[in-house]
Amino acid sequence: MERLAGIIRDIKFRCTSCGKCCTRSFNGHVFLLDRDVKAVLAIEPEALEPAPGPEFCDQKGTFYVSGYALRVQNDEAGSCWFLKDGRCRIYDQRFAICRIYPYMLHREPDEEGTVDWRQFSGLEQHGEYDETIPDEESMEIARETKEYENAFLTQEIRFLEYMQAFFTRNRLRHVQKIYDDQLRAFRKGAEIKVMVFFDDRLEEHRLRLP
């Protein structure tokens, strides 16, 4: 915690409300913890979509993904569903990852495959870097970041354990070739079935590109 807070103070990042981090063109997708999915369900359920990049595909062609992401608008930047005129419409209720951004940590394996925290997200591409961050604030950011990362990893582990039991019980297995074939067909307009892990169960979605 002390080390993380020290790095946060050294970076001196301050948000300038440019809104870049709330677009898919800048940041990929916004993955949601289960508790955030429940919040979205109470605000605007249509803002949810299965997170892109499903982890598994079984021999029957069904995909499995570890959670939901925020849907984006149909504009050039791929703005978050909740972004309006460069501002978050639900700022006071924004989600865990939005609160800690850009301090979410990148997990990168080294050459031996050991995963470590390497760097913060998108630094030098947005915001300002000359702000003095008080000790107390840096410790609070570090605490929130650690809490988010713990919650994220706990959810991922729950998903993997669930999938292991589910695949074993139903005699399913991941088949990479079917995964690749299905994805190719999806890109050409075919419908795919995606099971999303949420609240310790799988929810079914049928997806087709517009």
Give the binding range for ligand SF4 (CB under 6 A) out of 79-87, 110-118, 132-140, 156-164: 79-87
The verdict on 83 binding ligand SF4 (CB under 6 A) reads yes
Output phi, psi for 131, to 5 deg. -95, 140
Which residue's CB is nearer to ligand SF4, number 62 or number 155?
Answer: 155
Distance CA 158, CA 74 (A): 33
Helix runs in 80-134, H state only = 96-100
Say which DSSP state 12 is in: -
The verdict on 24 binding ligand SF4 (CB under 6 A) reads no
Say which DSSP state 103 is in: -
CB of 33 to ligand SF4, least distance (A): 13
Compute the residue count for the chain. 210
In this chain, which of 24, 29, 71, 94 binds ligand SF4, going by CB under 6 A? Answer: 94
Q: Is 118 exposed, middle or buried (0-12, 13-18, 19+ CB in 10 A)?
A: exposed
In this chain, which of 7, 39, 77, 88 binds ligand SF4, going by CB under 6 A? Answer: 88
In this chain, which of 5, 37, 80, 196 binds ligand SF4, going by CB under 6 A? Answer: 80
Provide the binding-site residues for ligand SF4, judged by CB under 6 A. 22, 30, 70, 80, 82-83, 88, 90, 94-95, 98
